[in-house]
């Protein structure tokens, strides 16, 4: 009987590439499947990108150490030297790999539920793209038996270039006089952020640290997260509250009142602070980007960092400075930029720390609060949420039905005309009228149906999301969210 090759093992596991990395249930990441991914990565990418060592990191999920052990052992069995970073933010891992000409693997499920995990892959030039993903999934190498080895002790110096990148570029008094809260939960960078902010002069309040994994989704914050932010800001008289998702590549920033800001507004402000000329963003990002008049070009893509990176590479050839981000946050720097007379090296993968420091720099320069700055740039308002437990096949079937019968959506949202389809690039994006947009799509990372809305007020956008998801839940015979 012929042994299964890498492509067959990966397909049989049920693990799939989503909007950022390969994702699946913890139980699907067996030693054999992890070996298949490692063999496929090195076999397909080594010749193209020229690396012979791999740096490996992980987040704080309970399943991550075992998956990291499988990956490290499988790489070692190929004769690949592994630099183990332990727990660290994904962008810190990517930067180290970029500077040292290495490939990188991050064991993380980011924000998805704790019973799931994932793998993110990097070559020496940055995050892999969709072509690289396809090559990995097509690898025909047949794995040989290998022995599990203990994980080596983490090399703490792997984070050093990431920290230096921030501290070298921003002035030491950037945060002087500010009280900043860091919602630590189980973020991979929870201690690093405190150290960086303190080094830049902030009074830091450490909040919400947890020993039990917390799957924070920056695009679908819980009501408790919203209430807690307001309480913390009032109790500690915070000027700003900062946090990230699980692997530290997507930021969460709340103003002094405890209002969490949307990731695309944070991206807009970060791009302005860094002097970015051209942006690559997914189609669900706030259209304030076009309305504000700050950028020479805004290219819209499908949702997912590989698509943003693909367009970003085009923009870097046409403009002096280019960047990208997603509606869920995380800034991708496509070109070296100069700020405060110092150069910040390009890093075309999502980063949560750069947006925070860039925005703080802009606030200091303009002498305004974060709330005041947002008022200047939020021309349109967006909201989003999700129905959990909806498999991709069910979401796809539902969206196909809506494409044929958009009048159902008109009845749900009390629309005078049949909604107009704006895009089928990624899910279905409908214009309800001149002011309101609703976008529905299956999540690329978990069994979820996501809803995004854009309107002329935050309340209207939020009401749209709640109304549409409530109606969809009833249509799918599911509990109505929030009920």
CATH of 170-377, one of 1.20.1260.10, 3.40.120.10, 3.40.630.10, 3.30.572.10: 3.40.120.10
| Average pLDDT across the chain, whole number | 93
The CATH homologous superfamily to which domain 6-158 belongs is Alpha-D-Glucose-1,6-Bisphosphate, subunit A, domain 3 (3.40.120.10)
Q: What pLDDT sits at residue 219?
A: 78
Helix (H) / strand (E) containing 36: helix 31-49
pLDDT tier, 447 (very low <50, low <70, confident <90, very high otherwise): confident
User: Cα(348)–Cα(122) distance, rounded to whole angstroms?
Assistant: 10
User: Cα(117)–Cα(134) distance, rounded to whole angstroms?
Assistant: 20
Q: Report CA 316 to chain centroid distance, whole Å.
A: 21
Q: Matching CATH topology for 6-158 and 170-377? A: yes
Q: Each residue of 261-313: pLDDT tens digit?
A: 989 999 999 999 999 999 999 998 988 999 899 999 999 999 888 899 999 99
Q: What pLDDT sits at residue 54?
A: 97
- For residue 156, give the 3-state DSSP assignment: helix
Domain ranges of the chain: 6-158, 170-377, 381-475
- Residue position matching structure tokens 């203990």: 150
The CATH homologous superfamily to which domain 381-475 belongs is Alpha-D-phosphohexomutase, C-terminal domain (3.30.310.50)
What count of other Cβ atoms lies within 10 Å of the Cβ of residue 283? Answer: 20
For 391, phi and psi rounded to 5 degrees?
A: -65, 155
User: Cα(251)–Cα(228) distance, rounded to whole angstroms?
Assistant: 17
Q: What pLDDT sits at residue 50?
A: 87
- What tokens does 411 get? 């009845």
CA-only gyration radius of the chain, Å:
22
User: Cα(264)–Cα(292) distance, rounded to whole angstroms?
Assistant: 13
Please say whether the beta carbons of 141 and 43 come within 8 A: yes
Q: What pLDDT sits at residue 1?
A: 46
Catalytic annotation on 110? yes
Nearest to 119 by CA among 166, 185, 75: 75
Q: DSSP of 348-372, one letter per residue?
A: EEEESHHHHHHHHHHHHHHT--HHH
- Of residues 64, 73, 110, 288, which has the active-site annotation? 110
Q: Are strands 278-282 and 322-325 parallel, antiparallel or unpaired?
A: parallel
- Say if residue 424 is exposed, middle or buried (CB neighbours under 10 Å; 0-12, 13-18, 19+): exposed
Q: Each residue of 9-26: pLDDT tens digit?
A: 999 999 999 878 999 999
Nearest to 127 by CA among 356, 332, 336: 332
Q: Each residue of 343-385: pLDDT tens digit?
A: 999 999 999 999 999 999 999 999 999 999 998 888 888 888 8
- Residue position matching structure tokens 């940055």: 126
Adjacency order of strands within the sheet including 297-301: 297-301, 278-282, 322-325, 331-333, 347-351
Q: What pLDDT sits at residue 482?
A: 58
């Amino acid at each position: 009987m012929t042994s299964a090759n890498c492509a067959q093992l990966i397909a049989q596991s049920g693990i799939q590439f989503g909007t950022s990395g390969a994702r699946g249930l913890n139980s699907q990441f067996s030693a054999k499947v992890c070996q298949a991914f490692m063999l496929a990565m090195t076999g397909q990418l080594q010749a193209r990108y020229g690396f012979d060592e791999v740096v490996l990191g992980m987040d704080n999920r309970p399943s991550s150490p075992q998956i990291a052990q499988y990956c490290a052992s499988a790489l070692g069995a190929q004769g690949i030297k592994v630099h183990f970073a332990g727990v660290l933010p994904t962008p810190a891992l990517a930067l180290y790999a970029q500077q040292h000409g290495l490939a990188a693997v991050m064991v993380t499920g980011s924000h998805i539920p704790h019973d799931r995990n994932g793998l993110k892959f990097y070559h020496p030039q940055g995050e892999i793209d969709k072509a690289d993903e396809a090559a990995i999934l097509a690898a025909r190498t047949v794995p040989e038996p290998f022995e599990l080895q203990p994980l080596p002790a983490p090399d703490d110096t792997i984070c050093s270039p990431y920290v230096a990148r921030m501290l070298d570029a921003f002035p030491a008094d950037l945060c002087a006089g500010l009280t900043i809260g860091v919602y630590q939960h189980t973020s991979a960078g929870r201690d690093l952020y405190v150290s960086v902010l303190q080094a830049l002069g902030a009074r830091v309040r450490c909040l919400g640290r947890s020993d039990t994994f917390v799957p924070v989704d920056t695009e679908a914050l819980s009501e408790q997260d919203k209430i807690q932010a307001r309480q913390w800001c009032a109790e500690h008289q915070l000027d700003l509250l900062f946090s990230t998702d699980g692997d530290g590549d997507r930021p969460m920033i709340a103003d002094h009142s405890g209002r969490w800001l949307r990731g695309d507004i944070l991206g807009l402000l970060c791009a302005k602070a860094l002097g970015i000329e051209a942006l690559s963003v997914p189609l669900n990002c706030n259209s304030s980007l076009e309305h504000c008049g700050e950028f020479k070009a805004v290219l819209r893509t499908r949702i997912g960092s590989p698509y943003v990176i693909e367009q970003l590479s085009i923009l870097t050839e046409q403009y002096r400075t280019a960047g990208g981000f997603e509606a869920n946050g995380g800034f991708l720097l496509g070109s070296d930029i100069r700020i405060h007379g110092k150069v910040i090296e390009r890093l075309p993968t999502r980063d949560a720390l750069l947006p925070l420091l860039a925005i703080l720099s802009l606030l200091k320069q303009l002498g305004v609060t974060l709330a005041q700055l947002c008022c200047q740039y939020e021309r349109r308002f967006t909201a989003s949420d999700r129905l959990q437990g909806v498999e991709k096949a069910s979401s796809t079937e539902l969206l196909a039905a809506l494409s044929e019968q958009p009048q159902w959506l008109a009845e749900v949202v009390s629309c005078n005309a049949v909604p107009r389809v704006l895009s089928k690039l990624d899910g279905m994006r409908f214009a309800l009228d001149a002011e309101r947009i609703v976008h529905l799509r299956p999540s690329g990372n978990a069994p979820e149906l996501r809803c995004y809305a854009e309107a002329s007020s935050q309340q209207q956008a939020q009401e749209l999301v709640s109304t549409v998801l409530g109606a969809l839940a009833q249509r799918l015979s599911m509990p109505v969210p929030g009920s």
